[in-house]
Structure 1
Amino acid sequence: MKMAAAADLSTPLAILDGKCMGKENGSLSDANNIEDAEEVKSRKPPRHGTLMRHCASTARLEDAGKIDLGIGNLCLQSDSPGPPGFLPVFRSGSCTDIGQKKFMEDEHICVDNLIDHLGVLARIPSPGAFYGVFDGHDGKDAAAFVQKNILNFIIKDDHFPSCIQKAIKSAFVRADYAIADDKSVDNSSGTTALTALIFGRTLHIANVGDCRAVLGKRGRAVELSRDHKPSCNSERLRIEKLGGFIYDGYLNGQLSVARALGDWHMKGPKGSECPLSAEPELQEMTLAEEDEFLIMACDGLWDVMTSQCAVTITRRELIAHNDPEKCSRELVRQALKRKTCDNLTVVVICFSPYPPPRIEVPRSGVRRCVSAEGINLLKGIME
């Protein structure tokens, strides 16, 4: 996320162009690069377990799928949407790079097991996980503050855990106000914020700014957040209604995002509406077995790569080595290869201990001229 004049790359909340820039645009059925092919074929868990963090054992997950935890609307019984007995296993990997910037202003957080992270006395269902990406600007003060405090703001909110979405929304506003009150945080510092809170099969996405969450659904990219660019029509209308303006794609000629936490030099008194909003957009969904992984990244990645391309690369890498950390490193490498101009932060979260199954393309006498990415794009449009 950038403060100076740069080309606006707003993307609607939809399936993006399925074109992948680079040599990685190949058939997903190609198994030539698979390491330890016999292990992949048998779908056994990976042997390099030290690189992956599991939130619970298989036995715990099976038990959790049979009981009602009695936490608000959350119920981990097997009769909820999705295949009977399916419950995701959370494991993640991350990678960051300063890119072509002079300073690193990104922050992120990966918690695969909330019970282990917060303690057994925390008011949370099990299993649970939390992830976040925070793209700072004008220094990293605001990003570091939100990274450190946002999870506590959520779980300590009065609405948690009976109404998790209200708790998340309230926590974002509270974090914004806390930045203004904390004298150790630079008043001009600001940050975007993208979080994913998961309990059982229920995934809650919250977004302020232009980081993006993309779900890998059997090879197809599904965007779960919307980039808050000032030039986005709904954001532009809101900004102008509140007395702001857009100059060269920048809010009030200063900021390349329409929503952010902090930046109190651009905001009015607490509680007042202003063109720069701290209110998150929320998305809730129930994970199914075909939902294989989630990519969360700052705009340093999305400036140079489509959502579908990122999903294709990640799935190919998981089939090869089943390591989300290596996947995040590969996405960062590809973004640097494409000459991204911003800091890079990428988090990959897998929902199964096993690698994704290979997508077999039926063979016929007719030469195939549509790539696997194109097929997934067409599936998304038809659905």
Structure 2
Amino acid sequence: MEGSKVIINNVDGVRENGSSSDGRPPTPSSAAAYHHCLSSGGTTSLRAKSLVRHPSLVKARSSNIPIEPRLSEDDSDSEYAPLLRSGAWADIGSRSSMEDVYVIADNLMHDYALNNSNARPSAFYGVFDGHGGKHAADFACHHLPRFIVEDGEFPEEIERVISSAFLQTDTAFAEACSLDADLASGTTALVAVVIGSSLVVANAGDCRAVLCRRGKAVEMSRDHKPVCLKEKRRIEASGGYVYDGYLNGQLNVARALGDWHMEGLKGQDGGPLSSEPELKSTRLTEEDEFLIIGCDGLWDVFMSQNAVDFARRRLQEHNDPIKCSKDLVDEALKRKSGDNLSVVVVCFQPQPPPNLIVPRRRVQRSISAEGLKELQSFLDSLES
């Protein structure tokens, strides 16, 4: 979409919504809170620096979630090209403050002023669930996409670039907090990047992305809870512990950006709270209908398949990703979700999801001659 605009929701309020087709992004209400990261012209001072690979990612790192191979350059001419449409909705829910942030950009190259002659689709979507304040979520929302698009290896080495961007954002926020202690906070982060027909999802925390593939829910992320066996082992190997379901008795997530102010969670040499994301990628096809990205407030009351079924019915009714996002938020409120709610829905097709017809098995039935006689006798008795 040449006319798309990046939409960022980071304004405190009861209800927020955004679409990829109209409206200007809200003015960041907390921009002054981390003014030391902004130039007088409103652009980030981080852009003036030469972006380099995070030291921990100089060598390739393996993901805990299998990653499908990317398309080769020889396949680029014949690859499937999704038609991207997106919408989002947020609600403060029963909380006293809104700490969720989302961003949608259906045309990543255009929206972030990149010179790229490649006509393949490119998009960026993200949700950030803040805790202990909203500053970390706002910071990540504004800076993480920049770290991605301004990396010299983007988009060729997209998985490594995204992983590096998470760690670069976390390090930059630590520097910001060292200049202004009032920024102290943390945030989970989940982003989805589309390059051509490749979808890459990176997650650090308990937000979740679920792909609808011909009506079936395909989870594109894993919730990072301290009680998960894999996360618990990593935490304990890093010198931390899990108490009553909480990391070091303090956080109910095992991965997050920020939280540098919390003792024993992070340090220059690492720590039990990790900012490294898990990645999962897939190649989109005509069977892929839409993607749901939501903060944990949605998944507290929705199972993945349940959310896909619900969203699919709504899209069949109105084929509007904005309305679908609002429908999911409203339903979560009806189901008594006790958290902030932020949902992004990304459609990959111009038409609504088709009705799925389950083929019926052909069953041959036969009736005996005696049965036919009994049936005929019964019919004759009705006429008499």
Question: Could you state the TM-score of these two structures normalised by the residue count of structure 1?
Answer: 0.73
**C-alpha separation in 2, matches of 1:72 and 1:304:** 36
**C-alpha separation in 2, matches of 1:322 and 1:75:** 34
- Number of the residue aligned with 1:247: 243
Aligned partner of 1:324 among 321, 340, 365:
321
Secondary structure, aligned partner of 1:192: strand
Secondary structure, aligned partner of 2:310: helix
Q: Which has the larger radius of gyration?
A: 2
- Number of the residue aligned with 1:11: none
Deviation at 1:148, TM superposition (A): 0.7
CA change 1:150–1:124 in 2 (3 A) is farther
- Number of the residue aligned with 1:98: 92
Secondary structure, aligned partner of 1:265: coil
Partner AA of 1:315 in structure 2: R
Task: Check conservation: 2:206, 2:225, Cα contact below 8 A.
Answer: yes
Deviation at 1:75, TM superposition (A): 6.0
Unaligned runs of 5+ in 1: 1-49, 55-70, 81-85, 367-383
CA change 1:118–1:185 in 2 (3 A) is farther
- Number of the residue aligned with 1:33: none
Deviation at 1:268, TM superposition (A): 3.8
Partner AA of 1:326 in structure 2: K
Task: Check conservation: 1:123, 1:155, Cα contact below 8 A.
Answer: no
Q: Whose relative contact order is higher, 1 or 2, with alpha carbons under 8 Å and at least 6 apart?
A: 1
**Which stretches of structure 1, 4 residues or more, deviate above 4 A after TM superposition?**
71-76, 122-125, 362-366
- Number of the residue aligned with 2:277: 280
- Number of the residue aligned with 1:315: 312
- CA distances 1:341-366 after superposition (whole Å, capped 9, x unpaired): 10000000000111111112346899
Q: Which one is further off, 150-159 or 323-332?
A: 150-159
> Pairwise CA RMSD of aligned residues?
2.4
Deviation at 1:123, TM superposition (A): 8.6
Residue 209, structure 1, aligned to residue 208, structure 2:
no
Residue 360, structure 1, aligned to residue 357, structure 2:
yes
Aligned partner of 1:264 among 260, 267, 271:
260
**C-alpha separation in 1, matches of 2:251 and 2:171:** 19
Deviation at 1:121, TM superposition (A): 2.0
Aligned partner of 1:235 among 231, 235, 253:
231
- Number of the residue aligned with 1:135: 129
Residue 218, structure 1, aligned to residue 214, structure 2:
yes
Question: Could you state the TM-score of these two structures normalised by the residue count of structure 2?
Answer: 0.72
Correspondence list, 1:129-208, <5 A? 129-182=123-176, 183-184=179-180, 186=182, 188-208=184-204
Task: Check conservation: 1:73, 1:162, Cα contact below 8 A.
Answer: no
CA change 1:355–1:184 in 2 (3 A) is farther
Task: Check conservation: 1:124, 1:161, Cα contact below 8 A.
Answer: no
Task: Check conservation: 2:95, 2:338, Cα contact below 8 A.
Answer: yes
CA change 1:109–1:123 in 2 (3 A) is farther
Q: Give % identity.
A: 53
Unaligned runs of 5+ in 2: 1-17, 23-69, 364-384
Q: How many residues end up aligned between the 2 structures?
A: 295
Q: Which one is further off, 108-117 or 291-300?
A: 108-117
CA change 1:214–1:186 in 2 (3 A) is farther
- CA distances 1:283-342 after superposition (whole Å, capped 9, x unpaired): 111001101000000000000110111100111111111001111001001100010010
**C-alpha separation in 2, matches of 1:146 and 1:74:** 32
Correspondence list, 1:65-144, <5 A? 73=72, 77-80=76-79, 86-121=80-115, 126-144=120-138
**C-alpha separation in 2, matches of 1:97 and 1:185:** 28
**C-alpha separation in 1, matches of 2:344 and 2:303:** 16
